[in-house]
Structure 1
């Protein structure tokens, strides 16, 4: 038995993995590393959707731990009814330039279709998908609806080329009003990027911030009669500022319409506003984050607040998880 286990372990370590590969799970905690994209390992609370880490309607809402080119990149909670993400969560660790990756095509998540492959794949734009949006849904979207593809995790916030590419999955995209996407929302993304780059420095002099960006579904406004066009978009960040010895947070939101403005707010204001949209108590970050003001005195070691592992450790953890699952399977057999 030990020889079999050693052989399987070696094969797993040597076998090449597909460049795009994501876990569609029942809970974010099903892939332990996915918790690392949430501050303190605590996922947001949205009534009727996600509460205390538990998906409330598992047939509708799908947690995705986005894995691309052998590394976990970010987390997404996807609404298969509205065919848009509820939110995407990521850890900002600096930027790898502002430009869009060359020759990058849009991708879909095949695993959302029952029995399909786990590997992300390029969408040729010839099919409509039951549980997610596809390129075909966006045909003539600017002319007919005045919307284009809007990132939740923007590629301009990604630390390297591969992470930039991973954001071009349509599970990270909502139909966004063109002039809102390229106007005030884009300016806000650039402003926040500069703040995170210059102020979110931890005790190890490393850039680190947690960001969650989401969309509020409209009542009945759809793209191609299938994909919900959100009424609003929102985003929030939380990080530790070693110079000030404080935790920092800020939120922004705007109406998803042409030439809409994007306004900045405290977390408390965001929670109150989102609570009205979702008819209940909403919380995006753990209690480490200041809610009523932009900063509060730190009471927890900022270097242990998040369980995010560095890229090399992520890879090792992934292989270790595969090996443990394989061992369990063999023991069951």
Structure 2
């Protein structure tokens, strides 16, 4: 995981160093059409009728600019069509093949097309939904471009070399397709469209049941639809059968839709098919016919040349082993160069990873050091404040204790003097109360004596009466 993170960091650095890196953005479902790539469709309305869940919309970009649009089938692993405009004929061809990571792994953070070798191990399920270079190796098929590189220059041409714009074609068919489309666009379509930038081109493929390595569908036919959305406009369709590389059938866009793309509507308003300039359209068809006739004548001449050139055949047979040997040596040399560059790339990647780790560690240490210093500097005023407050509180406590002690010392004699001074006053004031209490006591004593005497006398009286009652009656009865 650590190696993967380092690789991603190095990859992002490479993107920042080389701003010309190609981008192919998978269009989200909540976006309209092909988002910023809608400019490659008349009225900015893409074809209708391609509604399968395995259809993926891709806005092909390069140098942060949209270059063409592609509808890709993750089921067939080929593009169903690419929409583009003619720029200029290519001056040179430089192949630089790329893949789209988000088709296989929508959750990854790579929103740009990258070289296949750079993302092996970093993208989940790589190749599950798209074709890879390994699918073409040793298959006998080439990566044929729907949007041919020969019709583009510079950045537009670089953007075409993506596997999301390629279908499996035999070498002869790939060459024939690129040659035919190039001639038709340059010699028949462009000269008869009053506004070149209003010539909209759709190049597509119809998948067959034949598959390369049981994965990538081989198209049963290729088609081109053109719309000149300008005054005196017109539209045209062309179909090339993959089983006949020399075939090139012209038909209307409506016929193309009906015969080969049922349920599909390629151009908004059929590119004004009911109001087209017939003269312009006839001129285009004648130009296409001339191109087709020239190719057929060229094919016949080639056959005659083959029959008459037996000497060259023999020479070719003799030279073939040497040519193969030379090809083998060139192949070995190229592979060695590739291996050297790959080794250098690994070294650079490892060095960059080490440098980045060192920089990260240095940065982490610096941040920690600055953080510690900051905390110490911040804590100094706080600690000083606490010490000052504690000193002040201690001083106040000392003052409070001194005042309390002084008060207690002074309160002892003052109380004693006050009590001593108040004694005579309290003593004199108590005399009346004492006399009153003594009088009350003496009176109570006399009252008690009187009561006791009365009680004794009453007792004697009661006793005498009882004795008299007891003995007097007995004396009277004896008499």
- Highest CA radius of gyration, 1 or 2? 2
Which whole-Å CA distance do the structure 1 matches of 2:36 and 2:91 have between them? 27
> Runs of 5+ in structure 1 lacking a partner?
1-14, 51-55, 299-333
Match of 1:286 in 2: 268
Query: 1:115-154 counterparts in 2 under 5 A?
Result: 115-116=107-108, 117-124=110-117, 129-142=127-140, 147-154=141-148
CA distance in structure 1 between the partners assigned to 2:188 and 2:39 by the alignment:
22
Alpha carbons of structure 1 residues 185 and 95: separation in structure 2 relative to 1, 3 Å: closer
Aligned length: 256
2: CA distance, partners of 1:290 / 1:179: 36
Asked whether the equivalents of residues 85 and 197 of structure 2 are also in contact (C-alpha less than 8 Å), the reply is no
- Corresponding residue of 1:314: none
- Preserved CA contact (<8 Å) 1:212 1:237: yes
Q: Which moved more, 1:74-83 or 1:263-272?
A: 263-272
Distance change in 2, residues 1:136/1:281 (3 Å): same
Is contact 2:23-2:111 (8 Å) kept?
Answer: yes
Distance in 2 (alpha carbons) for counterparts of 1:122 and 1:184: 26
Name the SS for the 2:32 alignment partner.
Answer: helix
SS in structure 2 at match of 1:228 = strand
Rounded to whole Å, the distance in 2 between the matches of 1:105 and 1:123 is 11
CA distance in 2, matches of 1:99, 1:250: 29
1:102-145 deviation line (CA, Å, top 9, x unaligned): xx221111121222311211234997611100110000122xxx
User: Conserved in 2, the CA contact under 8 Å of 1:65 and 1:72?
Assistant: yes
3-state SS of paired residue (1:22): strand
Distance 1:292 1:267 in 2: 11
Alignment-derived partner of residue 41 in structure 2: 38
Residue in structure 1 matched with residue 243 of structure 2 by the alignment: 257
Choose between structure 1 and 2: higher strand proportion: 1
Q: Quick one: structure 1 residues 215 and 44, their matched pair in 2 at CA, closer, same or farther if it must change by over 3 Å?
A: same
Which residue matches 2:21?
A: 19
Equivalent residue, structure 2, for 1:29: 32
CA distance in 1, matches of 2:232, 2:101: 42
Q: Work out whether 1:214 is the aligned partner of 2:204.
A: yes
TM-score by length of 2: 0.49
Q: Any conservation in 2 of the 1:179–1:258 contact (CA below 8 Å)?
A: no
The counterpart of 1:63, out of the listed 46, 57, 60, is: 57
Q: Greater relative contact order (Cα 8 A, min sep 6): structure 1 or 2?
A: 1
Contact 2:90/2:149 (8 A) holds in 1:
no
1:99 corresponds in structure 2 to: 92
Match of 1:200 in 2: 193
Once the two structures are superposed, residues 34-65 of structure 1 have per-residue CA deviations (whole angstroms, 9 ceiling, x without a partner) of: 2111111111123xx33xxxxx41xx111001
Aligned twin of 1:190: 183
Change (3 A) 1:252 1:292: farther
The alignment's C-alpha RMSD in Å is 2.8
- Alpha carbons 2:239, 2:249 under 8 Å: kept: yes
Q: Cα deviation per residue 1:13-43 (whole Å; 9 max; x = unaligned)?
A: xx88662222112346266322111111111
Q: Mind listing any 5+ residue stretches in structure 2 that lack a counterpart?
A: 1-15, 121-125, 281-479
1:269-310 CA distance string (max 9 Å, x none): 2111124xxxx4221111162447963699xxxxxxxxxxxx
Q: Closer, same or farther in 2 for the Cα pair 1:40/1:76, shift >3 Å?
A: same
Give the 3-state SS of the residue equivalent to 1:106 in structure 2.
coil
Q: Residue 184 and residue 19 in structure 1: after superposition, are their counterparts in 2 closer, same or farther (change >3 A)?
A: closer
Q: Distance in 2 between matches of 1:98 and 1:109?
A: 27
Alignment partner, residue 216 of structure 2? 227
Question: Where do 1:66-77 residues align within 5 Å?
Answer: 66-77=60-71
State the alpha-carbon separation in 2 of the partners of residues 184 and 76 from structure 1: 18
Give TM-score, length-normalised by structure 1.
0.69
> Matches of 1:284 and 1:248 in 2, distance apart?
14
Which stretch of structure 1 is more off in the superposition, 17-26 or 131-140? Answer: 17-26
Aligned partner of 1:113 among 104, 113, 116: 104
